[in-house]
Copies of this chain bind each other. A is one copy, B any other.
């Protein structure tokens, strides 16, 4: 693997993290030794060790003398870490992963909308509204597709005034991207979807906690149902073979 000549530690961390999330080391539960990684990527042991430490900090691996570097069970992984999420996205997530993302979205986003209805400042409301107007552009095909959609969801988290929800911005962004990856639509956001977003914003602005909550929950729920149907379809297909 070719690694260029700046930020070796960061790059190597990225390469190894990506490889792990792509399941390249899953079979043996064991990674190459420090020495082997160093020679394979042609970096010093120092850089290798620092990359290993970063992955250790994210819960992906652990290392002990004479035992080498071993993969940790997924329950130890920091699945809410920005980098880990990026690697998940690069690892071609399957339908099950999409379902898991949606289940968390269903937990987080309605709650965030309710908090936003309760606590959002004028600035924060304006920011949400701004993403809506950008979405209208996207409907006509302008601008970066679906980015305004993503920003809408993120701006609600921001308006929750809760650092934990705010930290989940990357998570929701990744979840939406995984979703897009499956629905696979290069086309713009539909009129119906746009209207649902407007509704959520209206309730938030009006301070209607419960209604904002419900509005945010409805869409996600129906998406989950769709995915669940698709999964059972696939299961049936596999049984037929």
Contacts and interface: CB of A to CB of B under 8 A. Distances in A.
Nearest to A97: B163
A75 B167 contact: yes
B162 A104 contact: yes
A106 interface: yes
B53 A82 contact: no
A82 B162 CA distance: 19
Given A54-B56, A111-B103, A75 B166 contact: yes
A174 to B, nearest CB: 11
B80 A167 contact: yes
A190 to B, nearest CB: 27
A56 B164 CA distance: 19
B53 A9 contact: yes
Interface in A70-122: 74-75, 77-83, 100-101, 103-104, 106-108, 110-112, 115
A165 interface: yes
A50 interface: yes
Given A9-B53, A55-B57, 9 more contacts: A54-B56, A57-B81, A75-B163, A78-B81, A79-B163, A80-B164, A100-B163, A107-B110, A108-B108
Contact of A53 (B57, B75, B111, B165): B57
Contacts of A50: 49-50, 53
A127 interface: no
Interface in A185-228: none
A207 to B, nearest CB: 15
A167 B79 contact: yes
A78 B167 contact: yes
A147 B107 CA distance: 25
- Of A100, A101, A107, most buried by chain B (CB within 10 Å of CB) is A107
Nearest to A161: B100
A77 B58 CA distance: 12
Interface string A121-137: 00000000000000000
A78 B80 contact: yes
A111 B115 contact: no
25 contacts: A9-B53, A46-B46, A50-B50, A53-B57, A54-B56, A57-B58, A57-B81, A57-B83, A59-B82, A74-B163, A78-B78, A78-B81, A78-B82, A78-B167, A79-B163, A79-B164, A80-B81, A80-B164, A81-B81, A100-B163, A100-B164, A104-B165, A107-B110, A107-B112, A108-B108
